[in-house]
Structure 1
Amino acid sequence: MLTGTLAGAATIALALSGCVPNRASADAEALAVSLTDTACTVSEKTAPSGAITFQVTNKGTDVNEFEILASDKLRIAGEKENIGPGTTVNYVVQLTEGDYFTACRKGMTGSPAHLAAFTVTKGKSTTTDASESKQVATAVTNYKGYLKDQTSQLLDATTSFAAAYEAGDDTAARNQYASARAFYERIEPTAEQFGDIDPAIDLREADVESGQTWTGWHRIEKDLWAPAGFTPSNPAERATLGKQLVADTQRLSDLVAAKNFTLTIDQISNGAIGLMEEVSRSKITGEEETFSHTDLWDFQANVEGANVAYGIVRDIAEAKGQSGKQVVSKLDTEFAAIQKLLAQYKKGDGFVSYTELSTTQVKQLSDEVNALSEPLSQLTSIIVK
C-alpha cells in the first residue's frame, strides 16, 4: 500500500510546488533572479534597505532555493526554498543596510552555489505610525518568547529521548520520537538561520552527501525502525549519536536564548510560509519520516508553527487595508479547515501511520495545503508594505 500511496503523493506534491508559490505578478520594483543548476544571477547588485522583493525564476532541471547570506557567508538573512523547475515566485525580505551575498542550492542540499556580493544601501526614511511600530515590536518580542519556549521544551524532550535510545530501550524511544520532534518542526525555519544546525539535527538520508557524516533525528530513526538488511548501531555508536543530537539541540537552544538573538517581522511571516512549504515538499510525499512513517505528527507540528507565527502578525496584516483584511479572512478559514482535516487521522495522543492513508486521502490533504499556502504566500508583502 505504501508504494502506491507515496507515488500518488509525489505526483500531487510536484503539482503543488509548481502552482502554490507561483504568484509572481508584474512588479516594477522587484529584482529579477535567475536560477540554473549551476548559478543564480540577480538583476541588480544593490538595493535600498527595507522590504526588498526578489522575483525568482528557476530555469534549471531540479528544485532549487534562493538564499541571502550575511557578510560572514554563514548566517542566513533570508531564504526561499522549494522553487520547482519552471516556477517563478516573489520573495519579500526585510534587509537592513550592509553587505550580503546571494546564493542558490540545486536540490536544496550541499554547499551554496555561485556566491555573489549584494549590497543594501541606506533607504529612504519612511514614516511609520507609532501604533504599528508598537505592534511590530510586540510581535517580535512575543515570537522570540515562543521560540525560547519551544527550544527549551525541545531540549528536555530530546534529552529524554536520547537517554532511552542510548540505553537500548527502543520501545520507549519509539514512543517519544514523534512527540519530541514536534517542538523542532514548529520552529524549523529559525533553526535554518543558523547554518549547520538544521543539517546536523534533521538531515534525511536521501540528502546526505558523499563523505558527509550523517547525524540527527533521522539517523536514529533508521536504527529504531531498521529496514531489512540494515544493521542498527551498536551501544558505542548509539552513545555517540545520542549525545551529538543533544549537543546540537543545546546549541540551538543557546543561540535562541542569547541576548543578541534578533528577529525581524518578515522573518516571522516568512517562517510561516516556509513551514507550509515544508509540508508540501516532504510531508505530503511521505519522504520526511522514511522509516517511522510518523509524517502526520510533523505535518501537524508544521501547521501549528505556521499558525502561531501567523497569529502573532495577524493584527498587523488586518490593519493594512482591504487587501490585508481579505488575506486574514482567508487564512482564518483555511487554518481551521486544515486542522479539521488533520483531526480525522488522530489516534490516541498522535496520528495513524502515514502508510494507512489512501491516495485519495493524501490528495485531500494536498488540496488543503494548497488552499492555505495561496493566501499565506501573500502575508509578508502585506505586513511590510
Structure 2
Amino acid sequence: MFALAGCVPNNASTTDAAAAITVDSSATDCTVSAGTATSGTLKFSVTNSGDQVTEFYLLAEDGLRIVGEVENVGPGISRDLVVQAQPGDYFTVCKPGMVGDGIGRSSFTVTGDKVQLAGDVQEQVDQAAVNYVAYVKDQVGQLVTGTQAFVDAFVSDTPSPDGKTAAELYATTRANYERIEPVAESFGDLDPAIDFREADVPAEDEWTGWHRIEKDLFPPTADENGGTEYVPLTAEERTYYADKLVSDTQLLYDAVNDPDYTVSIDAIANGAIGLLEEVASGKITGEEEIWSHTDLWDFQANLEGAKVAYEGVRDIVETKDPDLVKTLDERFASLQDTLAEYGSLNSGFTYYDELTTDQVKQLADGVNALSEPLSQLTATLVG
C-alpha cells in the first residue's frame, strides 16, 4: 500500500497531468483542500502563509514513515510535492520552523487500484534513500524539542508545560532516538555521549546522556548500586548533564541536516536489522533501562524504527523475494501484537521488572522469529 515519492519544481512537466491538491501551511494549521484522492500520481501544491520556513509531509498509515516531503518552503513561497500513491490510509502534516512534531495532522485516504511504481529499480532505490533521510531528520527534529522540554523539567524539578514531570517524559521522549539509533551510532562519539549505559562507559571516560539522568530520576537503592548509597545530583550537576544532552542532541540534528548527509540502501536494511539486535541485546535482558525499567518503551520504538526502514524498501524486495516479504509482514505484525499486550507508547507499558519469566520468553521468541528472516533483508535487497 506504500509508495515512493519525490519533490519537484513547480513548473515540472511531469506533474502537468496531476490534479493539484492545495495545502496552506500557516502559523497555526495545515489546511489540505481534500482528504481523499484516487491512486496514482498526486500533486500537493504547498503554500506557506506563515512567518517561518515550513515543511509538508505525507506520512504512511503508521504516522511515522515519510512517503513524501517538501522542505524549506519560505514564507510566501509555494512548492509542489508529487507522489505515486498506492491505495491506503495516510496522514498529512506541516512543520513550521522545521522542528518538533508538526501541526494540523489530518487523515488522508487514497482509493482505487494498486498502481505500478514509476521509474526503474535504481530510481526506486534512490527515492527510498531520500525518504529514509527525511524520516531520520523528522525524528531528530522531534527529539530536539522533546529533549528540551524534558531537561527543562529535570533541571527545575517542576512539571513541563503539559503538566508532565521529567520522570513521566523520560521514556516517551527517548522514542524518537530509539527509532533511529543506528544512525546516531554512525556518527562516532555521539551515541556514547547520548545513550551509553553506565556499564558501557570505560572507567577513564565521563558518563553523560540519557542514562546518567535516568539514574538520578529513578535512584537505586544501595543494594542496586553495588552496595553504595546513591548520592543525588546537585542542582549544578543537573544543569551540566542537561546542557550536555541538549548540546549533543543538537550535534546529531546538525549532522543529519548537513546537505551532504545521505544513506545507502544497504544501510537502511542494516539499520532495520540493527534495531532488532538492539532489542535482543538490551531490551529483552532488561539491561537498557536498568533504573527506570522502561525497556518496553524502547522495545516499541526499536520495532517501529525497524519496520519503517523495512517498509521503505519493501516494494523493491518484493520483486526479488515475495516469500521473504510475506514472512516479514507476518512476523512484524505478530511481534507488534505480542508487545501490544503490555501497553503502548501513548498509554504506557508494563514496567520490565514486573514481567514474569514466561512473558519475557514470549517476547524473546517473537524477536527471534522476526530476526531470522530480517537478517536476509540486506542480501536480498542488494543481491
Match of 2:364 in 1: 366
Instruction: Provide the identity percentage.
Output: 55
Alpha carbons 1:168, 1:235 under 8 Å: kept: no
Match of 1:285 in 2: 285
How far residue 373 of structure 1 moved from its aligned partner, in angstroms, is: 0.3
Q: Which one-letter code corresponds to 1:150 in the other structure?
A: Q
Match of 1:349 in 2: 347
Match of 1:70 in 2: none
Whether 2:156 is the aligned partner of 1:167: answer yes
In the alignment, the residues of structure 2 paired with residue 293 and residue 248 of structure 1 have an alpha-carbon distance, to the nearest angstrom, of: 24
How far residue 168 of structure 1 moved from its aligned partner, in angstroms, is: 2.2
Whether 2:212 is the aligned partner of 1:219: answer yes
Match of 2:302 in 1: 302
- Cα deviations across residues 30-58 of structure 1 (Å, max 9, x unaligned)? xxxxxxxxxxxxxxxxxxxxxxxxxxxxx
In the alignment, the residues of structure 2 paired with residue 198 and residue 286 of structure 1 have an alpha-carbon distance, to the nearest angstrom, of: 19
In the alignment, the residues of structure 1 paired with residue 256 and residue 136 of structure 2 have an alpha-carbon distance, to the nearest angstrom, of: 7
Match of 1:155 in 2: 144
How far residue 179 of structure 1 moved from its aligned partner, in angstroms, is: 0.4
Q: How many residues align?
A: 254
In the alignment, the residues of structure 2 paired with residue 371 and residue 345 of structure 1 have an alpha-carbon distance, to the nearest angstrom, of: 19
Alpha carbons 1:273, 1:306 under 8 Å: kept: yes
In the alignment, the residues of structure 1 paired with residue 375 and residue 194 of structure 2 have an alpha-carbon distance, to the nearest angstrom, of: 27
- Cα deviations across residues 167-200 of structure 1 (Å, max 9, x unaligned)? 1238700000000000000000000000000000
TM-score (norm. length: structure 1) = 0.65
In the alignment, the residues of structure 2 paired with residue 148 and residue 246 of structure 1 have an alpha-carbon distance, to the nearest angstrom, of: 16
Match of 2:330 in 1: 333
Match of 1:274 in 2: 274
Of structures 1 and 2, the larger Rg is shown by 2
Match of 2:251 in 1: 251
In the alignment, the residues of structure 2 paired with residue 249 and residue 332 of structure 1 have an alpha-carbon distance, to the nearest angstrom, of: 33
3-state SS of paired residue (1:194): coil
Match of 2:318 in 1: 318
Q: List gaps (5 residues or longer) in structure 1.
A: 1-128
Alpha carbons 2:273, 2:375 under 8 Å: kept: yes
Considering fraction of residues, name the structure with more helix: 1
Q: Which one-letter code corresponds to 1:297 in the other structure?
A: W
Larger deviation, residues 337-346 vs 168-177: 168-177
Q: How does 1:106-145 map to 2 (within 5 A)?
A: 131-145=120-134
Alpha carbons 1:191, 1:252 under 8 Å: kept: yes
Runs of 4+ in 1 over 6 A off after TM superposition: none
How far residue 376 of structure 1 moved from its aligned partner, in angstroms, is: 0.2
In the alignment, the residues of structure 1 paired with residue 375 and residue 123 of structure 2 have an alpha-carbon distance, to the nearest angstrom, of: 24
Alpha carbons 2:179, 2:301 under 8 Å: kept: yes
Bigger relative contact order, structure 1 or 2 (CA pairs below 8 A, ≥6 apart): 1
Match of 2:61 in 1: none
In the alignment, the residues of structure 2 paired with residue 274 and residue 342 of structure 1 have an alpha-carbon distance, to the nearest angstrom, of: 19
How far residue 130 of structure 1 moved from its aligned partner, in angstroms, is: 5.9
